């Protein structure tokens, strides 16, 4: 088995309705970058529910941190806030319009939980199984400047013109470093 380094992304925010949508888009984009498209809907729904709980219930403030981490075949999404009160799963009435957030997180995830974070906060998290094998990603993308791209394109056109005209000056024949 090839070992895979841990990958993570952290976002700090005020859990306001407009910010929740932004974080949902950030999580979706990060999962696309990691080639985890099948997890996007469940991760976005889960993080939306956790951030909505912070918005509705957290005191003394709505400041929180969202972290997503991919470790081997497991994606963990966690939300840390400054309220030490631990949430509880409720039995919501069928006609209730709220109160199902943690039950939904439990239903969509492989596992979930809550833990105290110091004396004045908590972390609520859930995990999703990541498809295997995970795609190996470059350490960071490489980008050409516009000038480098233009130069490469003009060199390519020059090569095509030489080949088309039957002249290919300045090029040595291809050689192999492998015997045989």
C-alpha count within 13 angstroms, C-beta hemisphere, residue 4: 20
Task: Give tens-digit pLDDT for 9-33.
Answer: 999 999 999 999 999 999 999 999 9
| Cβ burial, residue 161 (10 Å; 0-12/13-18/19+) | exposed
CA 69 to chain centre: 8
8 A C-beta contact, residue 51 and residue 64: yes
Task: Give tens-digit pLDDT for 149-175.
Answer: 555 545 544 443 444 444 444 444 444
Residue with tokens 């972390």, as numbered in its chain: 123
Contacts of 179 (CB under 8 A, 6+ apart): none
What is the pTM (predicted TM-score) of this model?
0.68
Task: Give tens-digit pLDDT for 71-96.
Answer: 989 999 999 999 999 887 777 666 65
Average pLDDT across the chain, whole number = 78
Q: What is the pLDDT of residue 137?
A: 52
């Amino acid at each position: 088995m090839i070992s895979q380094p841990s990958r993570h992304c952290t976002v700090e925010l005020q859990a306001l309705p407009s910010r929740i949508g932004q974080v949902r888009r950030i999580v979706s984009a990060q999962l696309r970058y990691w080639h985890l498209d099948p997890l996007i809907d469940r991760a976005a729904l889960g993080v939306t529910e956790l951030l909505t709980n912070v918005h509705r219930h957290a005191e003394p403030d709505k400041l929180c941190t969202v972290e997503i981490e991919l470790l081997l075949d497991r994606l963990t999404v966690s939300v840390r806030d400054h309220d030490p009160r631990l949430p509880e799963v409720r039995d919501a009435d069928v006609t209730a319009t709220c109160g199902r957030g943690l039950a939904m997180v439990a239903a969509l995830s492989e596992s979930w939980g809550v833990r105290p974070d110091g004396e004045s906060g908590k972390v609520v998290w859930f995990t999703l199984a990541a498809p295997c094998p995970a795609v190996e990603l470059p350490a960071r993308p490489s980008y050409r400047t516009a000038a480098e791209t233009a130069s490469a394109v003009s060199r390519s056109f020059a090569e095509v013109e030489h080949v088309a005209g039957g002249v290919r000056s300045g090029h040595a024949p291809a050689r192999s470093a492998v015997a045989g």
